[in-house]
Amino acid sequence: MPDQFTIQTSQNVTLQVEYASLGDRIVATLIDESIRIAYILLAYLLVTPSLQTTGPFPLILILLALPFVLYHLFFEMFNNGQTPGKKAMRLQVATLDGTPVSIRAYVLRWLFRLIDVQLLYGLVAIIAIASGKNHQRVGDMVAGTTVVKKVTRHNIRSTIFEEVEEDYTPTFIQAKRLAPGEVELIKEVLHNHSSPRSKELTQTLARKLEGYLEIPPQPSPREFLNTLLKDYSHLNR
């Protein structure tokens, strides 16, 4: 069973993402259910005394029930695929093809919770996640989603960004125009310095980027490329 899959971030960076474990998903669900139960108990304690003296108010009861019913849909849709439980466990909803999760997908996941989680105390979801190759419950299968370990900015920064000092002053403002793929290429060329063609590749790439970014020829191609990486990281953080 695969433990990782590949996604393309909004910055066009390819990342290997880890599937959320069944244990983490269960703990996240328990946290969310505890919050929902606490809310409904608090609402009951606050509202019941007034209903006993003034009579039933169906509309009020429906309005009070909405946060309980829409809890997962609301948080996942408006909090980047994370309920409080998922956030605590550093999990988030993601699509299998790496595209942003659509409203339709969130709604489908929410609707199928009745089958996955509410029916047989979550047994359906547990069996589906444990036996499926993409760690999906039924709602995930229908929506084309799964749950993964959260993709953090640190993950992305470690892929294409360089660490720079807070007071760093960029040398080439044009570096902001670089595409993520070009930055990855620069890093690959610089890191493969032991290759027999390393010097030639470094010079060729430096000359092309100088022309593309309209920068005068620089005396040291390697130093130039390193500076571009730092400038890019500072200008795009």
**Per-residue pLDDT tens digits for 61-86:** 788 889 999 999 999 999 989 999 99
pLDDT (mean) for 213-233: 92
So what's the pLDDT on residue 89? 94
Phi, psi for 169 (deg, rounded to 5)? -110, 115
pLDDT (mean) for 180-194: 79
So what's the pLDDT on residue 11? 47
Residue 30 to residues 56, 66, 119, 221: CA-CA distances in angstroms? Answer: 32, 20, 15, 55
Considering Cα of 15, then 153, then 21, then 72, what sign does the dihedral take? negative
Of the candidates 91, 95, 114, 96, which has an alpha carbon nearest to the alpha carbon of residue 22?
91
Residue 151: band (very low, low, confident or very high) from pLDDT cuts 50, 70, 90: low
pLDDT single digits (tens) 1-18: 457 766 655 445 556 788
pLDDT (mean) for 36-61: 76
| The one-letter amino acid at 6 | T
pLDDT single digits (tens) 158-178: 556 677 787 899 999 999 888
pLDDT at 188 over 70: yes
Contact (Cβ atoms closer than 8 angstroms) between residue 153 and residue 166: no
So what's the pLDDT on residue 84? 97
pLDDT (mean) for 142-155: 78
Least confident residue range of 17-31, 99-113, 171-185: 171-185
DSSP state of 19: B
Rounded CA-CA distance 7/35 in Å is 31
pLDDT single digits (tens) 114-145: 999 988 889 999 999 999 889 999 999 999 99
Phi, psi for 214 (deg, rounded to 5)? 60, 50
Which residues of the chain form beta strands (DSSP E)? 4-8, 14-18, 91-95, 145-149
Q: Which residues is 148 bridged to in the sheet?
A: 19, 92
As a whole number, the mean pLDDT across the chain is: 85
Residue entry with tokens 């998922």? 86
| The one-letter amino acid at 97 | D
Contact (Cβ atoms closer than 8 angstroms) between residue 126 and residue 22: yes
Chain centroid to Cα 236, Å, comes to 19
What are 178's two structure tokens?
């670089």
pLDDT at 55 over 70: no
So what's the pLDDT on residue 80? 87
Rounded CA-CA distance 171/105 in Å is 44
Q: Which residues is 149 bridged to in the sheet?
A: 91
Rounded CA-CA distance 18/80 in Å is 17
Rounded CA-CA distance 30/23 in Å is 11
Q: What are the respective helix, strand and coil percentages of the chain, to the nearest 5?
A: 65, 10, 30
pTM of this structure: 0.64
So what's the pLDDT on residue 61? 78
Helices within 12-80 (DSSP H only): 22-54, 58-78
